[in-house]
Structure 1
Amino acid sequence: MDKPVSLTAAIRRPRLLLSAAQHGCLSYNRTRDLPRLLGLLAPLAMAEGLELLIGAEQTMEDKRKTGDATYSITRHIQLLAALISEVRLTNAAQGS
């Protein structure tokens, strides 16, 4: 996997979507939110959580771009907020 910082730098999303996600980071709680978003019973290790979040967010982005009827902007914002928060936590743990 690439360095977490480069992953978020490579994400190109509409400004309003990213702004909403950044506000969502303020209330992110890994223990509560990660299992709910990924359908797990307990939080995973940071690297595993990041991998799953990247995949889930990319799926949402594909749905957004294609106009899929199952697209949920709320879920997309929550996934982006979790992804940004997990990258920040990973960077803090690595001492970046």
Structure 2
Amino acid sequence: MQDLQTRITTLKRPALLARAARFGVDEYRRDIHLRRILQADPLPRSAEAVMRLLDLEQDAEYRRKSRDGSYSAARHVELLIAIAGEARIMQASRLRLM
């Protein structure tokens, strides 16, 4: 099984989705956005959150590729933003430990 960082960095998504996520990541607030996405209280640690977000994103990607009528591009972008935001938090916490 790949580690989380590898799973995040190997995500290949259409340029429009990736670009939209990059624009939104600076506004990401885990206490607001992650709580809404995961519907969890208390919020999980970043590593667990990323695993759950990657599973949700994988489902969104499957729906996109299969042209499922329930696919939401906005939801997909929201998931990509949350993954990038949580990855930043994980990286920052690793740097603090050094």
**Residue 16 (structure 1) aligned with residue 16 (structure 2):** yes
Shift of 1:48: 1.0
Percent identity between matched residues is: 34
Confirm or deny: 8 A CA contact 1:22 1:81 kept in the other structure: yes
Q: Which residue of 2 aligns with 1:69?
A: 69
Letter in 2 for 1:36: R
Give CA deviations for 1:5-37 in whole Å, capped at 9, x if unaligned. Answer: x22220010011000001110110011111101
Residue in 1 aligned with 2:3?
Answer: 2
Gaps of 5+ in 1: none
1:31-62 deviation line (CA, Å, top 9, x unaligned): 11111011223321111101100100100000
Matches within 5 A, 1:1-96: 2-4=3-5, 6-95=6-95
1:24 & 1:38 partners in 2: Cα distance? 18
Kindly state the Cα deviation for residue 3 of structure 1 after the two structures are TM-superposed: 4.2
Ranges of 4+ aligned residues in structure 1 off by more than 3 Å:
none
TM-score, structure 1 as length reference: 0.92
Structure 2 residue runs of 5 or longer lacking an equivalent are none
Counterpart code for 1:15: A
Which has the greater radius of gyration? Answer: 2
